[in-house]
Amino acid sequence: MEVGSQVPCKTCGKDFKRHGNRRNCNDCVHPSYRARGDALKVFDTCKCGAQFSRRKNGSKQTYCSDECRKKYYWRSPTSEEQKAKISAAKKGKPTKLRGYKQTDEHLIKRLGTGAIRASKEELSLVPVLAKLGYVHTGEGTFWRRWPDGTLHNPDFVNETDKKIVEYFGSYWHDRSEEAHAIEQWAALGYECRVIWDTERATVLSGFPSAL
């Protein structure tokens, strides 16, 4: 039989809402069981003025019904309890950087080495470019802020000649990004060359003399 369904009392026959294995209504329950249940209860007054009972141990019930809870706590814009809860949630945990604009050093430190994972195709260019003085920085070791305000990390850098090589995959980049990258790195004093994935085989067979 389903718990919480209406069943007839075994003593008086009156229907009552069944909980657990009860067979008798509240009026016919054995006095010792009734006394035991009453001993675990305390009585409070709801904000609507009604009396309600709750269990002593662990119960945080404050209102007599869900209707009163919605009326006086959740939906009331003047609820002091709700205001206090919202105010506490806004504060959060204090941090050293709260309220301060983070500098590039902070942001780069948070990104750190290993923030980007280089592809196998990109790593295949390392031996060829290393012979020309380029160091692979494609996993987050050379963060710089472009003049447009965004942070970027190139794939290969030759600090001696102030040159940069970017490896672009056709799936992730479009041709318009090439001119923008060259322009932004030039503003920082670096000559940039973009190698597309369609050019990789040519680069591996013999790198262009322009680089």
| DSSP states along 132-168 | TT-EE-TTTS--EE-TTS-EE--SEEETTTTEEEEEE
- How much of the chain, in percent, has pLDDT values that exceed 90? 25
Q: Looking at per-residue confidence, does 161 or 20 come out higher?
A: 161
Higher pLDDT, 69 or 2: 69
CATH 3.40.960 boundaries in the chain? 104-205
- CATH of 104-205, picked from 3.40.630, 3.40.960, 3.40.50, 3.30.70, is 3.40.960
Q: How many CB atoms within 10 Å of residue 8?
A: 13
Q: What is the pTM of this model?
A: 0.49
Q: What is the pLDDT of residues 67-102, one digit of tens each?
A: 887 777 655 555 666 667 666 665 555 555 454 456
Backbone angles phi, psi at 101, to 5 degrees: -75, 125
Predicted confidence (pLDDT) per residue in 158-205, tens digit: 999 999 999 999 888 988 899 999 999 999 999 999 999 998 888 888
> Does position 139 have pLDDT exceeding 90, yes or no?
no
Strands 163-168, 191-196: parallel, antiparallel or unpaired by DSSP?
parallel
